[in-house]
Amino acid sequence: MAIEVRDVNKSFGTTPVLRDVSLDVAAGSLTALLGPSGGGKSTLLRVIAGLERPDTGTVRISGVDATRLSPQRRNVGFVFQHYAAFKHLSVFRNVAFGLEIRKRPKDEIRKRVMELLELVHLEKLADRYPSQLSGGQRQRMALARALAVEPQVLLLDEPFGALDAQVRKELRTWLRRLHDEVHVTTVFVTHDQEEAIEVADTIVVLAGGEVVQAGSPGEVYDNPANPFVMRFLGPVTEIGGSLVRPHDVEISPDPVEGGAPAVISRVVRLGFEVRVEVEIGGHEAWVQVTREQADRLGLGPGDTVHVRPAPGARSLALAV
C-alpha cells in the first residue's frame, strides 16, 4: 500500500472533522476522495501531507510511519486548489524549486524542469510569471512543480475546482493520461461525482468526516452502501418505497407484475434522452427513457402508464 490511514480523528476546536477514518491507497492507483462540501476531504488530504496533525491515528506512506514527520520530510507532492504559485518566480523557477532546495546540479535541474514542462505542455511559457498564465496553465505548472521532486504520492485538492467547465473536462482527460504515463500514486479531492467516475480507478466517499464507502467507480455506482451514496453518485428517483436510478425503471402502457400505475405529468426531451415525469399514488417520480422508446410508446401528459424497477436493477429500500 502506498498510503495507509488508520483510525484518524481530527477536530478543530470542539467540532470533529474526521472520525475514525481508515483508508488504503494502492501503489500506482488514481483515487478520488469524493464527498459533499465540508465533509472533511481537504482535511484528510492535508493530514496525509503532514500539513495538519491528526489528534489520534496513524498515517503510513510507502510502509513508513509518517504520522510525526513534517511535510518537509514526507516527500509528497501537494497541489493546492488555488495553485499556490510562487508569484515572484518564473514558471521555470517554480518547477525548479524543490530541486534547488535539494541542491541538485544546475544542468540536471534544467534538464528535468524542461522535461516536466514538456509533459504539461508549458515549455514555451517557461520564462513567464504566474500572473501571466491562465488558470489551467497555472494548475499544470503547480502539477509539474509537485512532480519535479519525484514524490512517492501526489495529492491534489480539487485540482479543477476553480476552472470553467470546458477547461475542466479537458484537464480531466489529460490528468488520466498523465497518470497512465507517470504512474505515481495519486489521490485527488473532488465534489463532482462525474469527475470521480470518469478519472479515478478507486472512489472513496467521505461525508460528515467518515468514510462511507470505498470501491471502484462501478461498485460504488451500482452497489451504493446507503441512500446517501446512491443520491450523491447519480440521479435517483423513488418508486414503490425504493430508491432507483431513473434509467433503471421500466415503463409500459399495460399493467405488469410488480408495477404501479402512474400518471404522466410532463415529458421533457433533452436531446437523446427523454425525461418522463410521473405521479404515482400522490408522489412524484421520474423515468429516463430514450427518444425512440418515448416515440414508440407515444407518451404524452395525462396518459396512465405502469412503472416498475427493471428486473435485475439495483435499488435500495428506503426505511419508512
Partner 1 sequence: MAKHVLRVVAVVYVLFLLVLPVGLIIWRTFGDGLGPFTEALTSPSALHAFKVTLTVAGWAVLANTVFGVGAALLLVRHEFPGKRLLGAFIDLPMAVSPVVVGLALILVYGRFSPFGGLLESWGIQVIFSTPGMVLATVFVSLPLVVRAVVPVLEELGDEQEQAAHTLGASRLQTFVRITLPGIRWALGYGVVLCLARSLGEYGAVAVVSGRLVDQTQTLTLFVEERFQNFDQPAAFAAATALALIAVVTLLLTKLLRPKDRIDGN
Ligand X SMILES: Nc1ncnc2c1ncn2[C@@H]1O[C@H](COP(=O)(O)OP(=O)(O)OP(=O)(O)O)[C@@H](O)[C@H]1O
Query: What are 61's strand-pairing partners?
Result: 3, 64
105 part of the interface to partner 1, by CB under 8 A: no
Which amino acid belongs to residue 250? E
87 part of the interface to partner 1, by CB under 8 A: yes
259 part of the interface to partner 1, by CB under 8 A: no
Q: What is the DSSP secondary structure assignment for residue 39, as one 8-state letter?
A: S
Q: Which three cell numbers stand for residue 31?
A: 483515487
Q: Which of residues 190-219 bind ligand X (CB under 6 A)?
A: 191
Residue whose C-alpha is closest to residue 79's, from 48, 40, 109: 48
Q: Which does 86 bind (CB under 5 to 8 A by kind): ligand X, partner 1, Mg ion, none?
A: partner 1
CB closer to partner 1, 145 vs 308 = 145
CB closer to partner 1, 84 vs 114 = 84
Q: Report the residue from 29, 43, 137, 288 that binds ligand X according to the rule CB under 6 A.
A: 43
280 part of the interface to ligand X, by CB under 6 A: no
Rounded Cα distance, 98 and 90, in Å: 14
Q: Which three cell numbers stand for residue 170?
A: 479537458
| Secondary structure of residue 236 in the 3-state scheme | coil
Segment interacting with ligand X, rule: CB under 6 A, options 36-44, 145-153, 164-172, 227-235: 36-44
42 part of the interface to ligand X, by CB under 6 A: yes
202 part of the interface to Mg ion, by CB under 5 A: no
80 part of the interface to partner 1, by CB under 8 A: yes
Instruction: Please report how many Cα atoms fall inside a 13 Å half-sphere around the Cα of residue 104, on the Cβ side.
Output: 15
71 part of the interface to partner 1, by CB under 8 A: yes
Q: Please work out the total of residues on this chain that contact partner 1, with binding judged by CB under 8 A.
A: 30
Q: Which three cell numbers stand for residue 160?
A: 479543477
Which amino acid belongs to residue 103? K
**Is the CA virtual torsion 147, 187, 27, 174 positive or negative?**
negative
Q: What is the DSSP secondary structure assignment for residue 24, as one 8-state letter?
A: E
Q: Which does 145 bind (CB under 5 to 8 A by kind): ligand X, Mg ion, partner 1, none?
A: partner 1
Q: Please work out the total of residues on this chain that contact ligand X, with binding judged by CB under 6 A.
A: 11
Rounded Cα distance, 61 and 225, in Å: 28
Q: Which does 98 bind (CB under 5 to 8 A by kind): Mg ion, partner 1, ligand X, none?
A: partner 1
Residue whose C-alpha is closest to residue 36's, from 145, 156, 138, 189: 189
Q: Report the residue from 26, 28, 68, 82 that binds partner 1 according to the rule CB under 8 A.
A: 82
Which amino acid belongs to residue 138? R
Could you tell me how many helices (H) and strands (E) the chain has, helices first? 10, 18
Q: Which of residues 23-42 bind Mg ion (CB under 5 A)?
A: 42
Q: What is the DSSP secondary structure assignment for residue 110, as one 8-state letter?
A: H
Q: Report the residue from 14, 15, 37, 72 that binds partner 1 according to the rule CB under 8 A.
A: 72
Segment interacting with partner 1, rule: CB under 8 A, options 96-104, 173-181, 213-221, 272-280: 96-104
Rounded Cα distance, 98 and 138, in Å: 17
Which parts of this chain interact with partner 1 (CB under 8 A)? 49-51, 70-78, 80, 82, 84-88, 97-98, 101-102, 129, 131, 142, 145-146, 148-149
Which parts of this chain interact with ligand X (CB under 6 A)? 12, 17, 35, 37-43, 191
